[in-house]
Structure 1
Amino acid sequence: MQIRALRVFCDIASQRSFSRAAAAHGMTQSAASQIVHHLEQDLSVQLIDRSKRPLVLTAAGQLYFEGLQRVLFDLQTLDQEVRSFGKRLAGQVEVASIYSVGLSYMPSAKSEFAERHPDVDLHIEFVIPERVHESVMEGTADLGLISYPKSTRTLNCVTWQREPMKLISAPDHPFANRREVRLAELDGQLMMGFDPSLKVQREIAAYLTRNGIRPKFDTGFDNIDSLIRAIQLNSGIGILPEPAIRREVANDSLRVIQCPDLEITRPLGIIWRRGARLGPAALEFGALLLGRPLKPDESSSEIRRRADAELKQPAASAAT
């Protein structure tokens, strides 16, 4: 089984098109179709449902596609490690990051990376979440740093960490000098919040609603820095990721209010385009952030369950 054939299948699966994948590999559509046919013969299972347009992967095909993505990524990483063995790492890395991740983590990460790899030009652009995805998909960014990461048909992701969300207040808010505040006390309170279009605000609102809490949100802030300033200027309160407000807590311009029954986190992750050939420098920066090699998160157990059911179906039919 040739590696090129596996790459062709992955491109067909990700683009949902034989013709586009064939063009990308400099072959005819018929040749690309034959590659998939041979794979299906070797595996004794249907990978693509050709009766639908655009084409759709079967459950087994989806499982195979996600597994191949990891295998080919590992192979690419190994190939680059061997080629660069004994050589000093050089090149350029483009990273698109949401503002809060950039402010909280990038200064120290960039400094450490520069110390380890002085010949690598690391450029980090701070943008809104939508632009992170666009930059990665357009190829103007090798890696994207985002909250609430999610693998898609076109994007790989790996969960990086989970930030605890805390109740914070301005120093002159009535809650500021309280030893602790119960979650129920937030019901009806005026709170400063993110723009409702942002996932973080929707998650905060949903969590409070599930717990029977309905504060009066003053929203509209599309980044953490603006929200922090609004809370400070308006003697307000809000729920923010703890790492994002450490500087303000240290200089006493914000207070963290203990709220024992507030249990919510914000997941952070790294995303990159499926099929993208990340260079050694980009892989190394991702590994520095994670503390381990950069690899996609595992595929879901649900996909495996559906694939298993589909694989067993012919046998069950024969038995009847």
Structure 2
Amino acid sequence: MLSRSLQIFLDVASHRSFSKAAEARGMSQPAISQAVAQLEERLGEELIDRTKRPLELTSCGQLFYERCRKLCDEYQAIEDEVRQLRHGKIVGRVRVASIYSVGLLQMQAYVEKFELLYPDVKVQLEYLHPDDVYAQVRRDNADIGIVSFPRGRGDIESTDWLQQEMGVIVPPQSLLSKFTTIELSDLRDQPFVSFTPDLTIRGEIDRVFLDADVEVRIVHQFDNIENIKRAVEIGAGVTILPLDSVRREVEFGLLRAIPFKRVQLTRPLGIIRKRGRPPTAAVSKFRALLLDADKEEAPAADLLAASVT
């Protein structure tokens, strides 16, 4: 078993925070700080620059982190292989970092299906801002990441996953809710609930409006789909979202989904992983399950039929 202080240091380095590492491990912050201090004393080197926020690793700390991270990953892989050899089962864990807007229910359904197939594997699912998903994969805190408009370059390898059709989402009381299809021009001067400017999906939607010479009135901006849906539900405005992300709300009559008449707007989803890092058997199985999911996705037409009934 690898030393406890080493594992604590890796958590602190990964989270760039003593408090977040303490929360993740269910320990007090003083206990976390003491464990790292004892490790530094034993090595005779400062590993973490505590004057920076967020915390930064010293040059010695970065070297120690990278080598120990590889050591821990290799140790975990060996443990998993021994258990698999003994019991003939897929065992271990899969750490998934996902953007919020993939859909809480959708991702949870994949996790539940996987854990039924492989009950000896634990899936750890974390929802993050897109930049943090990439960061978690780069730091080896996540085995795979789920992102929209994936960027595969440098140390990140990307695989196309799903193409999600997008449409106009309105509250039931909106005059637009009676439309069966919609033009971009129908949204001119409408109050619009948007994504924040730092997200790629916002840039894509802005580009479509610009090409069509249509201006909307942005009344709210959020960095995740759940908040956008809640704002539209209460009548704050209309929006453009992946149709799959509003299935539940449409079924319960909380929102209406309207397809575009002429414009084809989709949001690509991708699966990212760190290049050069061999996946465990458990990670490979989970990734394969996700890649098979596009064959089982319900067509958007089913959702739209429910929206207008």
TM-score bracket, normalised by the shorter chain, equals: 0.5 to 0.7
CA distance in 2, matches of 1:124, 1:194: 23
For 1:159, give the aligned amino acid.
D
**Percent identity of the aligned residues?**
32
Q: Does 1:161 align with 2:162?
A: yes
Partner of 1:94: 95
Partner of 1:114: 115
Q: 1:108 to 1:210 in 2, by over 3 A?
A: same
SS at match of 1:152: coil
CA RMSD after TM alignment: 2.4
1:281 Cα deviation from its structure 2 partner:
0.4
CA distance in 1, matches of 2:274, 2:236: 42
Q: Does 1:197 align with 2:206?
A: no
Q: 1:179, 1:257 within 8 Å by CA — same for their partners in 2?
A: yes
For 2:180, give the aligned amino acid.
R
Note the alpha carbon deviations across 1:112-150, whole angstroms, 9 max, x for none.
101110000111111111110111011110000010101
Runs of 4+ in 1 over 6 A off after TM superposition: 83-86
* 1:210-229 correspondence runs (5 A): 210-229=211-230
1:235 Cα deviation from its structure 2 partner:
4.4
Q: 2:95, 2:143 within 8 Å by CA — same for their partners in 1?
A: yes
Q: Does 1:172 align with 2:173?
A: yes
For 2:282, give the aligned amino acid.
A
Aligned residues: 216
Q: 1:92, 1:121 within 8 Å by CA — same for their partners in 2?
A: yes
* 1:5-154 correspondence runs (5 A): 87-154=88-155
> Which consecutive residues of structure 2, in runs of 5 or more, have no partner in the other structure?
1-61, 68-80, 294-309
Q: 1:258 to 1:274 in 2, by over 3 A?
A: closer
CA distance in 2, matches of 1:116, 1:136: 25
Q: Does 1:248 align with 2:249?
A: yes
> Which consecutive residues of structure 1, in runs of 5 or more, have no partner in the other structure?
1-19, 26-79, 293-320
**Rg larger in 1 or in 2?**
1
SS at match of 1:150: coil
SS at match of 1:291: helix
CA distance in 2, matches of 1:260, 1:104: 28
Q: 1:104, 1:244 within 8 Å by CA — same for their partners in 2?
A: no
Q: 1:171, 1:235 within 8 Å by CA — same for their partners in 2?
A: no
Q: Does 1:281 align with 2:282?
A: yes
For 2:111, give the aligned amino acid.
K
Q: 1:287 to 1:200 in 2, by over 3 A?
A: same
